[in-house]
Structure 1
């Protein structure tokens, strides 16, 4: 802001070109950009090595789901690195990251089912059990909701709830790009006539609907898949969601309100995007290393259903004995 309260003209300029960033980097900037780019490269190399291992060692029915889920962190890191070096591509890199993660939401649900042996094995193992639907993010405040039986129809509805987000997110991403090139999509235009104010809330509702079936399935299988480290895997999946969606949204909102000060040649909005991307590269690098430890292992068959019941009941038996 200027001395008289007016906006600095340099703060209203479009994001700089990649060549301008390279020319204006100081020593600290060179070190920062080099380290973050190195982290991104390592993340992608670790992911490629993990894909080779999974392709060779894992059963065919699990390969696709595991590879998709493992790719969330390195793909987001790569898109963030591209957005950091080429600021004018930020909107597109963010859309690609969000679209990929929408597919990951569906693939994580499929992964849990495939870890049980597929649809038929899951239905057989859960034949006499019910699903608790009073879970987040939709119905965590409704404990009075009845439990529903595990049937093929209900399993299909859970899959459909997650798949609709993967499909419609791709549709809305393509639509947003078309509207952008037609001059109708501007992330800074939050007016009632802007496309952003209509598309983003609708995508948010689709996200919540898609996360609900995954949470229901996790609550149902967390004891069954405990030996496969499903709890830390789910925690990493949730962490990627929070960091790539919620954290980024908060920073972008602060930038749109000019809470984040501009630093020419970066406007407030461009600087907010830059901060978000640099944080994501570091965070996704750490998550990539953690997920490698969780997924790069021998995939032994699940214990029988009787063993699951013993594992579930053992804490109660210990408490009674005490």
Structure 2
């Protein structure tokens, strides 16, 4: 009986992901249609992004161009890399790493974008210098209502920027380290033993991610009323949605694959099939987000009125706290 059970296990269920040519040769009619549609979506996402870049260069002030291009590129870049991993499954680890590095930069750029929308650092300090920041927000301290409110100073602004910038920098550093360890056979995403490098690097990167998201949330909560006319709330929602889909959704699918919940389907092992399903969902989701993002950022970029001299109007626009609170 044991021999029979051993013969029933397909060897591909324990192998590495198949080469790209093996996938192409084994595609049936449904697979050809599915891969064609997903590739078309990824291509259209990138074309929409290129068209948006042209619009930004023509219509947007110089100091905002690079920032908006980085933020707008999150969904199409991730979707295109997912499409590449769909066709070349053995490159999945690298495409996921590059997607994560790009989004780490987007986290920092989104914070800078909110500051630029109110006129830059100096304008932000003039508008908000009389108020205080509420730091008891997610993802770090949403339940810590006892935390004191912080004065808005140059030092505070520097710390907010530093909190997000460290993630953009260190994520790239840890990605390079992971690739170097992988070439030495010391890094394997499926190796969750205490001796594996992945079990140490990934949780540490997760902590850095939470720390980086905190300054963005603090700044958004303070400026969401001021920038409401610029549709900052749906923009922030799209940014958060990309974060959830690229981090939480992918992690859930990968855990199910590692546990064997996702069945093996030759030529894909359970893990490879989980990665494939994650890439397919990502392409569809990033395509939709790309279209929504284009609508949100397609506008005339004129500066906000300089209303910092009107205390009543400023109190109505800023999420502010008096010194006595």
Which residue of the other structure, out of 144, 153, 156, is the alignment partner of 2:155? Answer: 153
1:62 counterpart residue number: 64
Contact persistence 1:2–1:8 (CA under 8 A): no
2:173 counterpart residue number: 171
2:227 counterpart residue number: 225
Q: Which runs of 4+ in 1 moved over 3 A?
A: 1-8, 305-313
Distance in 2 (CA, whole Å) between partners of 1:269 and 1:296 is: 40
Distance in 2 (CA, whole Å) between partners of 1:169 and 1:19 is: 32
Which residue of the other structure, out of 24, 27, 39, is the alignment partner of 1:25? Answer: 27
In structure 2, the CA distance between the partners of 1:311 and 1:168, relative to structure 1 (3 Å rule), is closer
Which residue of the other structure, out of 287, 291, 294, is the alignment partner of 2:293? Answer: 291
Contact persistence 1:109–1:214 (CA under 8 A): yes
- The number of equivalent residue pairs is 313
Q: TM-score, normalised by structure 2?
A: 0.93
**Bigger mean CA offset, 88-97 vs 295-304:** 295-304
Q: How does 1:40-119 map to 2 (within 5 A)?
A: 40-119=42-121
1:235 counterpart residue number: 237
Deviations 1:5-55 (A, max 9, x none): 885422001111111111111111010000000000000000000011101
Deviations 1:253-277 (A, max 9, x none): 1111111001011000000000000
**Bigger mean CA offset, 20-29 vs 297-306:** 297-306
- Superposed displacement of residue 309, structure 1: 3.7
- Superposed displacement of residue 206, structure 1: 0.2
- Superposed displacement of residue 63, structure 1: 1.0
- Superposed displacement of residue 310, structure 1: 4.3
Contact persistence 2:74–2:106 (CA under 8 A): yes
1:211 counterpart residue number: 213
Residue 242 (structure 2) pairs with residue 259 (structure 1): no
Q: TM-score, normalised by structure 1?
A: 0.94
Give 5+ residue unaligned stretches, structure 2: 320-325
Distance in 2 (CA, whole Å) between partners of 1:96 and 1:42 is: 20
Deviations 1:151-183 (A, max 9, x none): 000000000000000000000000000000111
Deviations 1:123-167 (A, max 9, x none): 001011110000000000101111001000000000000000000
Q: What RMSD in Å do the two structures reach over aligned CA positions?
A: 1.6
Distance in 2 (CA, whole Å) between partners of 1:216 and 1:312 is: 13
In structure 2, the CA distance between the partners of 1:157 and 1:2, relative to structure 1 (3 Å rule), is farther
In structure 2, the CA distance between the partners of 1:97 and 1:45, relative to structure 1 (3 Å rule), is same
Give 5+ residue unaligned stretches, structure 1: 314-322
In structure 2, the CA distance between the partners of 1:156 and 1:289, relative to structure 1 (3 Å rule), is same
